[in-house]
Amino acid sequence: MVLPSGVRERVAAVHGGSALPERLRLYDGWATDYDQDVAALEYRAPHLAAASLAFAFPAAPAGARLLDVACGTGLVARELHRRGFRCLHGVDGSAGMLERARSTGLYQELRQCVLGWEPLPGPAEQYDAVTVVGALGEGQVPSTVLPELLRVTKPGGFLCLTTRSNPSNLRYKRELEAELGKLEHCGAWQKLLAQEVEHWERAISEEESTRGTGYISGVVYLYQKCPVPPLEEE
């Protein structure tokens, strides 16, 4: 099945490296068609991330407080809710996306926040888990945001992150994995999972396709924040 041209154009536009105000405008305009577009793309990241997090969770998750960063229209929340998560907070930079997320009724709190340009709302160490699904990529959220994600996570809490492995995102993926490794090396968190997935979503061009499959690949990372703060380096 050939992707509708409108889907290809909308995905290419938001990944095109435009300046922040223009990118937020594009996401606002995409909000109405977003769910049907990602369904056409066979986008698996929300399902894969939620399944990985639920598998690692040590107890029934109904009382756990979770922050869905770059929550979009609420695709991750739907998957988490299916797995028993009930206390969901979300942030996103796009007012249009937040309006769609609010209509799901799955979030207890939604706030507008452009991660990478402003801190996450709220105090430190308040969440049992934090997810960032789909936003860690070239021209989107910078890889330098990882300490801010850790800041709002409780000691012992989980962080579930995803990124794409298609050619145009490989430089970003290398930078992200370098930052992930630095934080692990200094004892801020420990890696529980790094799962490469070949059929992540349908490619919007032959150049982005993995070995001519018509799909791009991606990866789910799962980390656990260390319960004791690491010693500062002298």
pLDDT the model gives residue 5:
74
Tokens at 128, concatenated: 């049992």
pLDDT digits (tens, 9 = 90+) for 103-131: 999 999 999 999 989 999 989 999 999 99
Helices (H), 57-197: 75-82, 95-103, 146-151, 170-185
10-residue mean pLDDT series, the chain (234 residues): 76 76 90 94 96 88 93 97 96 97 98 93 95 92 95 96 95 97 96 96 88 92 83 54
231 in a domain, yes or no? Answer: no
Tokens at 190, concatenated: 């420990």
pLDDT the model gives residue 1:
54
164 in a domain, yes or no? Answer: yes
Domain count, the chain: 1
pTM over 0.85: yes
pLDDT the model gives residue 158:
96
Q: Residue 29 sits in a domain of what CATH number? A: 3.40.50.150
Candidates 56, 46, 75; CA nearest to 200 is 46
18 in a domain, yes or no? Answer: yes
143 in a domain, yes or no? Answer: yes
DSSP state letter for 106: -
pLDDT the model gives residue 18:
72
In which domain, by residue range, is 44 found? 7-225
The residues near 68 (Cβ < 8 Å, ≥ 6 apart) are 74, 76, 77, 80, 88, 89, 90, 91, 107, 131, 133
174 in a domain, yes or no? Answer: yes
pLDDT the model gives residue 3:
78
pLDDT the model gives residue 116:
87
Residue 178 burial by CB count (10 A; 0-12/13-18/19+): exposed, middle or buried?
A: exposed
202 in a domain, yes or no? Answer: yes
Q: Could you give the CA distance from residue 38 to residue 52 in angstroms, rounded to a whole number?
A: 20
Candidates 132, 129, 223; CA nearest to 185 is 223
190 in a domain, yes or no? Answer: yes
The CB density around residue 186, as the number of other CB atoms within 10 Å, is 13
159 in a domain, yes or no? Answer: yes
